[in-house]
């Protein structure tokens, strides 16, 4: 089965790449791209992989981290680079060196890592879903995850697919009591993105309920949890050596206007209210309204689904959803909500349990249509990131 899923995942990535190429050729750019792509000049095929944050990952993979207080807006010393965690750019650089030492080889390395992680993530998701679902329903979970409207991020130079692969692998290993392997996978997930460590409460619940009563198994479970937290700890220690503040990565995020800790429901209530009262004026009159709506409605769907995920799959899956929804929503921002939802794999496992074939088919078709829309917006440099 893993061969079938892996082959289908590669085929889907190829299809998406060709689709993005056609979009790039046929439609005009919404705005100029700041990052000049892997060849330093326009390329209708390769530029589709290198939009927005791809430039940050490229800079880190190419030049490493550096910290200069009040540093330049671009370049090696920009303080905000620290907000991008190291696992993905490290893999990007390492794989890129297999292709060569040119700047374009770094981008090739990033594409390879993203695609390989997507394949591994889909395979891991299938086997995780099989712990609770039948084979057909586990395949459904993989399909839903692949065609989710914001799942196009899995195929570009972003860290989403890498995080997904490590997070799902960690869940699977903890549920099957492979504590150390799960700890290493979870630690890598925690060092892949700032909210990666939020996997700890879910894994702790699994360890508490699943560890055998003997001292050895409980000790191994605790060690696995320590390894997960160690992913964030190791990066924070590195940041401390670099900047003098172990949480400079969080301070960098705040400098960009993200202040987590507010009421997480306010942003969604604000969006629902404006869409219910004057949707046309909002969508047609505000530049960011269409993108905020796509991001916000994705988050709203996941918020509504969370109690059902908890009831059907258990507390660890519900805790994972709650933690990863709370953090971005508490900042009051809509930006990025769609791709944050894309890696919340419990939703897709739960959605795969829908009994009605008609409802499931409609969900897949609608999701695939929105996938094409979101891929188009991202490819043509609309502010959907």
Selection from 293, 255, 249, 248 nearest residue 275 by Cα: 293
Instruction: Report if residue 276 sits inside a domain.
Output: yes
- In the Cβ-directed half-sphere of 314, how many Cα atoms lie within 13 Å? 13
Residue 257: helix, strand or coil by DSSP? coil
Q: Output DSSP code: residue 277.
A: H
Task: Give how far Cα 167 sits from Cα of 163, 195, 280, 342, 364, Å.
Answer: 6, 11, 39, 12, 24
Domain that holds residue 272: 260-353
Instruction: Report if residue 274 sits inside a domain.
Output: yes
pLDDT in tens, the chain (385 residues): 888 999 999 999 999 999 999 999 999 888 887 666 666 677 889 888 988 888 889 989 988 888 777 665 555 556 678 889 999 999 999 999 998 888 889 999 999 999 999 999 999 999 999 999 999 999 999 999 999 999 999 999 999 999 999 999 999 999 999 999 999 999 999 999 999 999 999 999 999 988 888 888 899 999 999 999 999 999 999 999 988 889 988 888 888 878 888 888 899 999 999 999 999 999 988 999 999 999 999 999 999 999 999 999 999 999 999 999 999 999 888 989 999 999 999 999 999 999 889 999 999 999 999 999 999 999 999 999 8
Instruction: Report if residue 272 sits inside a domain.
Output: yes
Number of domains in the chain: 1
Interatomic CA distance for residues 135 and 257, integer angstroms: 44
Instruction: Report if residue 310 sits inside a domain.
Output: yes
Burial 332-357 (b: 16+ CB within 10 A, else e): bbbbbbbbbbbbbbbbbbbbbbbeee
Tokens for 269, please give them. 């209530």
Instruction: Report if residue 337 sits inside a domain.
Output: yes
Q: Which alpha helices (H) appear in the chain, and where do they start and end?
A: 2-26, 54-63, 87-99, 103-129, 135-146, 160-175, 179-190, 200-210, 215-243, 248-255, 266-277, 279-285, 289-313, 315-329, 337-342, 345-351, 357-379
Selection from 144, 119, 166 nearest residue 8 by Cα: 119
Instruction: Report if residue 76 sits inside a domain.
Output: no
Interatomic CA distance for residues 253 and 27, integer angstroms: 33
pTM of this prediction?
0.94
Selection from 60, 48, 61, 43 nearest residue 19 by Cα: 48
Instruction: Report if residue 177 sits inside a domain.
Output: no
Interatomic CA distance for residues 75 and 322, integer angstroms: 36
Instruction: Report if residue 281 sits inside a domain.
Output: yes
Identify the pLDDT of residue 103: 83
Residues in the chain: 385
């Amino acid at each position: 089965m893993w061969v079938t899923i892996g082959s289908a995942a590669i085929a889907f990535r190829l299809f998406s790449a060709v689709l993005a190429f056609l979009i790039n050729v046929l439609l005009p750019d919404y705005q100029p791209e700041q990052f000049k792509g892997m060849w330093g000049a326009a390329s209708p095929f390769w530029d589709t992989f290198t939009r927005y944050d791809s430039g940050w990952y490229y800079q880190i993979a190419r030049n490493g981290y550096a910290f200069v207080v009040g540093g330049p807006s671009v370049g090696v010393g920009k303080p905000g680079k620290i907000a991008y965690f190291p696992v993905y750019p490290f893999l990007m650089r390492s794989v890129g060196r297999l292709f060569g030492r040119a700047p374009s080889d770094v981008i090739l390395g990033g594409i390879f890592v993203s695609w390989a992680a997507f394949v591994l993530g889909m395979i891991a998701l299938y086997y995780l879903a099989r712990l609770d679902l039948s084979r057909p329903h586990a395949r459904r979970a993989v399909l839903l995850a692949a065609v989710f409207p914001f799942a196009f991020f899995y195929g570009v130079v972003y860290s989403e697919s890498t995080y997904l692969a490590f997070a799902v692998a960690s869940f699977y290993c903890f549920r099957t009591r492979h504590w150390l392997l799960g700890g290493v996978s979870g630690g890598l997930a925690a060092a892949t993105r700032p909210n990666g460590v939020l996997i700890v409460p879910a894994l702790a619940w699994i360890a508490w309920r699943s560890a055998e009563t003997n001292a050895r198994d409980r000790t191994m479970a605790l060690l696995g949890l320590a390894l997960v937290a160690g992913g964030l700890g190791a990066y924070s220690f590195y940041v401390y050596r670099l900047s003098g503040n172990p949480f400079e990565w969080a301070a960098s995020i705040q400098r960009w206007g993200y202040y987590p800790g507010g009421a997480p429901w306010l942003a969604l209530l604000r969006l629902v209210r404006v869409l219910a009262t004057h949707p046309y004026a909002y969508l047609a009159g505000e530049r960011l309204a269409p993108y905020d709506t796509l991001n916000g409605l994705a988050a709203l769907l996941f918020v509504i689904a969370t109690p059902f995920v908890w009831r059907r799959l258990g507390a660890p899956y519900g805790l994972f959803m709650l933690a990863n929804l709370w953090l971005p929503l508490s900042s009051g921002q809509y930006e990025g909500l769609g791709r944050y939802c894309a890696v919340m794999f419990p939703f897709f496992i739960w959605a795969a349990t829908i009994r009605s074939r008609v409802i499931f088919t409609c969900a897949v078709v609608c999701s695939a249509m929105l996938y094409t829309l979101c891929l188009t917006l991202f490819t043509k440099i609309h502010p959907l990131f």
